[in-house]
């Protein structure tokens, strides 16, 4: 348990909220859609804290919030369509999923390991002021426990997350009460990934065509319930490895190395002292590094199913699934 501060919507409250975010803490803040649970998007350890506080059983890519289109442009690549949408609807309840820019500083964990990134410039004046003061992209899903409804005031947030986050910035009620509309601009026609605060008709009127409906990864719709937005390594992934075969890449967890680990091509440890938040923070970047080693197989030590272990195992099982 930690003490959750309730911050007022004045200069002092904003300064405190920004300070907490800049040192890696969790702050819930109002946006015009719903309250978001914010963390410094560039700090994977802080982002891991979001999933822990929400009790999320899987790592979805998160939306990163910025104070301006100029700031968003340093994180993502905007094609002509994305630029027009940003200029028309930002600040506002629209999220654009675009390819990551070479200068992107948003962590792998916030992007769930993908090469695309979800960006939004919110219109709420407090959110805007907080982002400006923080000076970094802020990752924020809705500020509720997993499986509960999205909060539209500070009391809802505290009802779910009191004692699990550092602070909530109280800005009264959110006006829209519905999450942002998500549109992917990943080359080709824009796709609607999630209906929300900006009506589809308004977007279609602007772009002069019907919006295709896409799966959340922005590709062709898959079987119901299956997201395309999962980072998949090229190598085969072998879970719960008790021993290592020569030449395998190895992803360890905890102090104990499996039998044969000396013969590994490369070994990385998610957390030597078995800390699941630290492990979550490393997961996607370590998978990428192991994959880049050229090994045919990535062997993964057993990881407990408690706390963030559930989300880590969920991602690893998807990575291990036959493709
Ligand atoms: O209104 C909102 O959008 C609220 C407020 C707080 O801003 N935020 C919100 O964030 O709903 P979040 O993190 O719960 O939304 C995550 C969704 C994912 O489920 C996915 O659909 C989409 O955003 N998303 C984010 N990045 C993506 C990516 N790179 N590729 C595909 N989908 C992405
Ligand atoms: Mg939500």
Query: What range does the domain containing 67 cover?
Result: 5-213
Closest atom, ligand 1, to C-alpha of 65: 7
Cα–Cα distance for residue pair 42/93, rounded to 1 Å:
22
Overall number of domains in the chain = 2
> Which of the ligands is closest to the CA of residue 196?
1
Low-confidence residues in the chain, pLDDT < 70 = 215-230, 322-323
Predicted pLDDT at 311: 86
Is the CB of residue 214 below 6 angstroms from any atom belonging to ligand 1?
no
State whether 190 and 293 are in the same domain: no
Closest atom, ligand 1, to C-alpha of 95: 3
> Which of the ligands is closest to the CA of residue 150?
2
State whether 174 and 268 are in the same domain: no
Cα–Cα distance for residue pair 309/302, rounded to 1 Å:
10
Residue 224 lies in a domain: no
Cα–Cα distance for residue pair 184/104, rounded to 1 Å:
17
> Which of the ligands is closest to the CA of residue 181?
1
Residue 115 phi, psi (nearest 5): -90, 10
State whether 96 and 206 are in the same domain: yes
State whether 242 and 93 are in the same domain: no
Residue 321: how many other CB atoms lie within 10 Å: 10
State whether 9 and 137 are in the same domain: yes
State whether 126 and 14 are in the same domain: yes
State whether 181 and 263 are in the same domain: no
CA distances (Å), 9 to each of 2, 74, 156, 239, 277, in order?
A: 22, 29, 17, 48, 30
Residue 230 lies in a domain: no
Is the CB of residue 123 below 6 angstroms from any atom belonging to ligand 1?
no
Is the CB of residue 117 below 6 angstroms from any atom belonging to ligand 1?
yes
Residue 113 lies in a domain: yes
Predicted pLDDT at 229: 58
Report, in this order, helix, strand and coil percent for the chain, each rounded to 5. 30, 20, 50
**Interhelix angle 276-292/309-320, nearest 10 degrees:** 20
State whether 272 and 205 are in the same domain: no
What H or E segment, with its residue span, contains residue 15?
helix 11-22
> What CATH code is carried by the domain that includes residue 242?
3.40.50.11030
Residue 222 lies in a domain: no
State whether 102 and 157 are in the same domain: yes
Task: Kindly give the distance from the C-alpha atom of residue 183 to the centroid of ligand 1, in angstroms, as a whole number.
Answer: 10
Is the CB of residue 92 below 6 angstroms from any atom belonging to ligand 1?
no
State whether 192 and 246 are in the same domain: no
> What CATH code is carried by the domain that includes residue 165?
3.90.870.10
Is the CB of residue 108 below 6 angstroms from any atom belonging to ligand 1?
no
State whether 206 and 252 are in the same domain: no
Is the CB of residue 38 below 6 angstroms from any atom belonging to ligand 1?
no
CA distances (Å), 40 to each of 43, 47, 131, 137, in order?
A: 6, 7, 10, 6
Q: How far out from the chain centre does Cα 95 lie?
A: 13
- Domain's final residue, options 178, 213, 248: 213
Is the CB of residue 180 below 6 angstroms from any atom belonging to ligand 1?
yes
State whether 163 and 207 are in the same domain: yes
Taking only the tens place, the pLDDT of each residue in 275-287 is 999 999 899 889 9
Residue 223 lies in a domain: no
Taking only the tens place, the pLDDT of each residue in 138-194 is 999 999 998 888 898 999 999 999 999 999 999 999 888 788 999 999 998 999 998
Task: Kindly give the distance from the C-alpha atom of residue 54 to the centroid of ligand 2, in angstroms, as a whole number.
Answer: 10
Task: Kindly give the distance from the C-alpha atom of residue 111 to the centroid of ligand 1, in angstroms, as a whole number.
Answer: 10
Predicted pLDDT at 166: 98
Task: Kindly give the distance from the C-alpha atom of residue 35 to the centroid of ligand 1, in angstroms, as a whole number.
Answer: 13
Residue 155 lies in a domain: yes
Say if residues 38 and 140 touch (Cβ distance below 8 Å). yes
Predicted pLDDT at 236: 95
Predicted pLDDT at 167: 98
Is the CB of residue 182 below 6 angstroms from any atom belonging to ligand 1?
yes
Cα–Cα distance for residue pair 317/313, rounded to 1 Å:
6
Residue 248 lies in a domain: yes
Residue 249 lies in a domain: yes
Predicted pLDDT at 323: 64
> Which of the ligands is closest to the CA of residue 37?
1
């Amino acid at each position: 348990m930690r003490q959750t501060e309730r911050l007022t919507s004045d200069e002092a409250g904003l300064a405190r909220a920004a300070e907490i975010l800049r040192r890696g803490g969790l702050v819930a803040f109002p946006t015009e859609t719903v309250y978001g649970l914010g963390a410094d998007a560039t700090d994977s350890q802080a982002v891991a804290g979001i999933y822990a506080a929400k009790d999320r059983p899987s790592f979805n890519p998160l939306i990163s919030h910025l104070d301006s289109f100029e700031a968003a442009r340093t994180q993502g690549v905007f094609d002509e369509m994305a630029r027009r949408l940003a200029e028309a609807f930002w600040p506002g309840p629209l999220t654009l999923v675009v390819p990551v820019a070479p200068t992107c500083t948003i962590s792998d964990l916030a992007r769930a390991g993908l090469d695309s990134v979800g960006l939004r410039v919110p219109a709420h004046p407090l959110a805007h002021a907080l982002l400006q003061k923080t000076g970094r992209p802020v990752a924020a899903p809705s500020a509720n426990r997993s499986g509960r409804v999205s909060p539209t005031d500070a009391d809802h947030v505290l009802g779910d997350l009191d004692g699990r986050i550092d602070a909530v910035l109280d800005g009264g009620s959110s006006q829209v009460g519905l999450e942002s509309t998500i549109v992917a601009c990943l080359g080709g026609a824009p796709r609607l990934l999630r209906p929300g605060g900006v009506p589809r008709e308004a977007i279609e009127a602007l772009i002069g065509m019907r919006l295709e409906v896409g799966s959340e990864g922005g590709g062709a719709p898959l079987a119901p319930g299956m997201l395309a937005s999962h980072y998949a390594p090229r190598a085969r992934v072998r879970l719960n490895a008790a021993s290592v075969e020569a030449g395998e890449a190895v992803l360890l967890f905890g102090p104990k190395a499996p039998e044969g680990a000396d013969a590994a091509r490369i070994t990385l440890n998610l957390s030597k002292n078995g800390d699941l938040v630290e492990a979550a923070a490393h997961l996607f970047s370590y998978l990428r590094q192991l994959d880049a080693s050229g090994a045919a197989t990535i062997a993964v030590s057993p990881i407990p199913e408690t706390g963030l272990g559930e989300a880590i195992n969920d991602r690893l099982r998807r990575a291990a699934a036959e493709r």
